[in-house]
Chains A and B, each alone.
Chain A
Amino acid sequence: MARMKFLCDADRCIECNACVTACKNENEVPWGINRRRVVTLNDGKPGERSISMACMHCTDAPCAAVCPVNCFYTTADAVVLHSKDLCIGCGYCFYACPFGAPQYPRVGNFGSRGKMDKCTYCAGGPEPDGSRAQFEKYGANRLAEGKLPLCAEMCSTKSLLAGDGEVIAQIYKERVSRRGYGSGAWGWQTAYGATIAT
């Protein structure tokens, strides 16, 4: 069984934000919720690098570990999903997540945040695949259609890779050996417990 991962090749990312709008487009994500975003380090300075970030679908996901209502589950493809029916919007997962992935539709008085929303790896949620309910709560389910997350599929420079961890790691290794440098698979140590040896 495939182990789905994301990998952003920072030497290719140009902060064009295609991944961000592709996600909005595919999942009809409302204003104010960002399942994916691009982070730029050393902005405007020599050595500037950008990385596209979303839920990394961690091995032993910290969000799941802290969730008081157990709304998270990991699919057979190792995608971390959650049930909005169970979520109480407590916000614990936001504090647990090393990548800032969980998003909430409201910032209200008394801490009511609404149901948590995050990247689903374009794999929907617990409802039946392709159902209206699934789309309304979680957005597209491309994986069920044999497609990968649209953010990676539309990446302008093929910087953001999605797919089986071993395959994307292999692509990345080939790139690094070809060009002779690479700034590493950012976030892999944290998310998956091991980085890519190049």
Chain B
Amino acid sequence: MLVKKSDRQARRGSLASLVADTKALDRRAFLRRSGIGAGSLAVLGTMPLGTVRKAEAAAAGPLTAGAIIRKGVCTHCSVGCTVTAEVANDVWVGQEPSWDSPINRGSHCAKGAAVRELVSGERRLKYPMKLVNGQWTRINWDQAVNEIGDKLMDARGKSGADSVYWLGSAKMTNEGAYLFRKFGAFWGTNNTDHQARICHSTTVTGVANTWGYGAMTNSYTDIRNAKTQIIMGGNPAEAHPVSLQHLLEGAEMQKANVIVIDPRLTRTAAHATEYVRLRPGTDIPVLYGMMWHIIKNGWEDKEFIKQRVYGYEDARKEMEKWTPEEVERVSGVPGEQLKRVAEMFAKNKPSTLIWCMGQTQHTVGTANVRASCMLLLLTGNVGAPGTGANIFRGHDNVQGATDVGLDIVTLPFYYGLVEGAWKHWSRVWEVDYDYLVSRFDEKKLMETPGIPLTRWFDAVLLPKDQIAQKDNVKAMFIQGHASNSITRIPESLKGLKALELLVVADPHPTTWASLAVQAGRKDNMYLLPVATQFECRGSRVASNRALQWAEQIVKPIFESKDDLEVIYLMAKKLGFSDQMFKNIKVENNLPVAEDVLREMNRGSFSTGYCGQSPERLKSHMAHQADFDMLTQRATTGPNKGDYYGLPWPCWGTPEVKHPGTPLLYNTNLSVMEGGGCFRARFGVEREEKQPDGTSIKVSLLADGSYSKDSEIKDGYPEFTLGVLKKLGWDKDLTEAEMAVINKVNPTTPDAVSWSTDLSGGVQRVAMMHGCVPYGNAKARMNAFGLPDPIPVHREPIYTPRVELVSKYPTLPDAKQFRLPNIGFSVQKAAIDKGIARQFPLILSSGRLVEYEGGGEETRSNKWLAELQQTMFIEINPADAAERGIKDGALVWVTGAENDSKAKVAALVTERVGKGVAWMPFHFGGWFAGQDLRGNYPAGLDPIVLGESANSITTYGYDPATGMQEPKATLCQITAA
């Protein structure tokens, strides 16, 4: 089954033979001559010698002499490691450390150090394929695009534009993800989504609703400044290994407290100074438990709260409910330990809170994240070095794909779906607003959020009258998304069979292929080979909001095509390419990435993506060595003063030369130096009901807090032309800027704002006076408008603690995102049926360092696959002993829905507590004990296959985002 010891290939043979005869510098002579000795070369732990070493390498370089160096960005996690490739004859022959990167400083993890394999991949999809009567058959691109296009038009004709689901990817470049979203708009649907839905959708919603933007506030490197680090619901040692360089070295430098709060004693916890074990799904009680100690002891930051926080008194009432006894009863965390942790966090400042999927992937994901923000606000730990919500995003461009709106709830850059948003984009795209309206089934649906990808099969399978659009989903076009990272796989199999058309555009066939065949699909399925990002060029956004421009390292291999070309070919076939690519140059069917970015720059004032021109980004990549690692700022060279990657918001047009914003909401800097304040996003005041029945208006604007050098020494609303006029600053606008403003809104130009003014003038003038374009408000502890404006603990849908459900039930059933969310009924039924007795173990899931996402790409990489060959489940020794399970033995894991079962190896370990089991979610290609290797096109099966954790996961969706629940469900384990 496994690849065995294949013959060694001399990849550098031709290069080496070229130089074999020349007098290569003898290494000993070289080391002597360099005068530094090999010893100095060794100092990898310090910065300056990296550059010394590089100079000598060029002198020595017998093997690199013939190769070209190209710089890309790793395609796995969101740290944003630069990849340095040596390329000869369009073959990627070697990978070198990227010493100059101010992010990874030469380092990689197992995945990053193995990326070269991706572009030689024997198991890559090589040409378009079609399922013909159950057999995979080769076809060409023309035939594929024509047949798919005709079938899509057919579905559109019969069931409407919303009957096609466009599932995009965080693996695309910004330019690809943006075009994919734009494509959805021109096709006429909001059913366009990507991995952020199942990753940090709850973070984006929760955090943006607290203080303005849904992103990491600080950066990986800034964590070096923290004196207390809490990592709650994240395992960066495996999911973001290079970040640990900064966490661990920072902790050593600062003698910092490193506290890991997690149901598992993770590899990150192994390096913590304190480990707190909680029951999965009880983050809110634990966070409130900390806040309880803080307010009881007066450790809160009163000045910060007064100036910059709204709704503290409301939130305090909820905090007070969570006494140490109740917290321990619900979460299992002892009060004394939590008091110690709370004291460290509140007093040993600056403190940062780091989180990941452990908080987000829950039915209460948005509330979890909101509670985390409240802890930060309570202790004044936002908006300064070493503080902040350091949210580690998952994929390499998941932040970017979210920003560019590859999403069901918004147009690019968080403009939303309201008429004004559509009109803004129709101006940027230079198409008629009425044309866009005509593309949709109806105007109402144009302004209604689409269906989350977590529910795609529900949208296929539920009765038509339960779906709030013209018809069920009939066709899926998936470009770069796994199927096995989505929960409830047994249900999805029914969806895979029922779909009228299934198109998978990906470097690999993926589990969509193996599961669709397993589901009994025989035809109307296509596989289109898409290149990896190493074969394309464009920008991607790391978790710290920095944009990095990656070069194309080699041309797309086999018959693969760039994402952008696939999007263009489909738009051309479907008849809207002329409109969609009006301002984007297309060369041989390939849209020019730089042009796409320029169009994004023109329309993205809301998020400050307006200043990152391709020229600036390329210059940053070319001069990485000029940037300081700790501050991320260029100290010399052409980009002097810029922050690396121009982390958004980078206000104004590129000509304004805003340096980017390394830390959000930092009032210690002036706005033109990257400073800021909380965003005035929720109005300027709010009517609050008083106990006596009357109501008062309470300001939402900041109180006496403002960013450095601001001419307004208090809170202020977001800027519009009208606001500029009131301040008398409108005179600073140029004639050209005024002309654009008048064109944007000829009837009421005063309403044109910092985010809709296409000239950038409103932003420029606001900043001239030291003000932040989006206003200066308070962060919200009370996020009115969300399902739980102040977070409330709610038990997981499937909980082992049934006695807690009456006090902490999930939210009532409701219609969300065009579909019913029947979580409450499911929770009730589970209790009525006694599911917790049948399935007594909590099942959680997570990541391994060797694999990424659904894992088909990394499990096809021979260097990675060798390291993790078996799917497993972690089980506590006590639970294993009760069941007679030995370490390494095969077991059946059974789940609470659909009689689901999976056959995996048992890893008996104290890593998980008693009553908790854990599975990695990267495996696929097995289902219910059956090996599906034969379902892949011949030779394209990943090296390692295994059962998917999501075969066992169950119902449960966050009401605010449609996030799934893969972190807390129930299972039973028996010896196989």
Which of B6, B17, B252 gathers most chain A CB within 10 Å?
B252
Which of A24, A131, A166 gathers most chain B CB within 10 Å?
A24
Please pick, from A18, A33, A48, A163, the residue contacting B265 in the complex, using a CB distance under 8 A. A48
Please pick, from B8, B16, B46, B57, the residue contacting A132 in the complex, using a CB distance under 8 A. B16
Please pick, from A4, A16, A43, A150, the residue contacting B97 in the complex, using a CB distance under 8 A. A150
Cα A162 to Cα B97 in complex, Å, equals 14
Contacts of B881 in A (CB 8 A): none
A155 part of interface (Cβ distance < 8 Å): yes
Cα A43 to Cα B57 in complex, Å, equals 39
Beta-carbon contact of A22 and B113 below 8 Å: yes
Q: Do A157 and B107 contact each other (CB < 8 Å), given the known contacts A31-B2, A132-B16, A178-B253?
A: yes
B30 part of interface (Cβ distance < 8 Å): yes
Cα A195 to Cα B937 in complex, Å, equals 55
Beta-carbon contact of A25 and B113 below 8 Å: yes
Beta-carbon contact of B95 and A167 below 8 Å: no
Cα A141 to Cα B26 in complex, Å, equals 12
Q: Do A21 and B62 contact each other (CB < 8 Å), given the known contacts A14-B267, A28-B9, A76-B28?
A: no
Q: Do A17 and B849 contact each other (CB < 8 Å), given the known contacts A44-B911, A156-B108, A167-B39?
A: yes
- How many residues from A make CB contacts under 8 Å with B? 71
Which of A19, A145, A155 gathers most chain B CB within 10 Å?
A145
Cα A29 to Cα B866 in complex, Å, equals 12
Beta-carbon contact of B107 and A158 below 8 Å: yes
How far in angstroms is the closest Cβ of chain B from A163?
A: 2
B271 part of interface (Cβ distance < 8 Å): yes
Q: Give a binary string over B38-66; 1 marks a CB under 8 Å from any A CB, 0 the rest.
A: 11111111100000010011011111100
Beta-carbon contact of B241 and A16 below 8 Å: yes
Cα A183 to Cα B848 in complex, Å, equals 26
A136 part of interface (Cβ distance < 8 Å): yes
- The count of A-to-B residue pairs whose CB atoms sit within 8 angstroms is 243
How far in angstroms is the closest Cβ of chain B from A167?
A: 4
Cα A46 to Cα B42 in complex, Å, equals 32
A161 part of interface (Cβ distance < 8 Å): yes
Q: Do A132 and B113 contact each other (CB < 8 Å), given the known contacts A17-B867, A49-B270, A152-B44?
A: no
Contacts of B46 in A (CB 8 A): 171
Beta-carbon contact of B20 and A131 below 8 Å: yes
Beta-carbon contact of B43 and A163 below 8 Å: yes
Cα A17 to Cα B238 in complex, Å, equals 10
Cα A44 to Cα B20 in complex, Å, equals 49
Beta-carbon contact of A15 and B117 below 8 Å: no
Which residue of chain A lies nearest to B40 when distances are taken between CB atoms in the complex?
A167
Which residue of chain A lies nearest to B264 when distances are taken between CB atoms in the complex?
A44
A55 part of interface (Cβ distance < 8 Å): no
Contacts of A113 in B (CB 8 A): none
Beta-carbon contact of B237 and A14 below 8 Å: yes
B749 part of interface (Cβ distance < 8 Å): no
Beta-carbon contact of B31 and A2 below 8 Å: yes
Contacts of B241 in A (CB 8 A): 14, 16, 18, 156-157
Contacts of A4 in B (CB 8 A): 38
Beta-carbon contact of B44 and A30 below 8 Å: no
Contacts of B864 in A (CB 8 A): 21
Q: Give a binary string over B240-251; 1 marks a CB under 8 Å from any A CB, 0 the rest.
A: 011011001100
How far in angstroms is the closest Cβ of chain B from A55?
A: 17
A88 part of interface (Cβ distance < 8 Å): no
Cα A186 to Cα B585 in complex, Å, equals 58
Q: 4 additional contacts, CB 8 Å, given A30-B7, A167-B39?
A: A16-B241, A31-B3, A49-B270, A132-B13
Can you list 10 A-B contacts (CB < 8 A)? A4-B38, A25-B114, A44-B909, A44-B911, A143-B27, A146-B53, A152-B44, A157-B248, A164-B42, A171-B45
Seen from chain A, the residues whose Cβ lies within 8 Å of a Cβ on chain B are 1-2, 4, 11-12, 14-22, 24-26, 28-33, 43-50, 76-77, 105-106, 128-132, 134-136, 140-141, 143-148, 150, 152-158, 161-164, 166-168, 171, 175, 178-180
Seen from chain B, the residues whose Cβ lies within 8 Å of a Cβ on chain A are 2-13, 16-17, 19-20, 24-28, 30-31, 34, 37-46, 53, 56-57, 59-64, 94-95, 97, 106-114, 116-117, 237-238, 241-242, 244-245, 248-249, 252-253, 255, 265, 267-268, 270-271, 275, 849-850, 862-864, 866-867, 874, 909-911
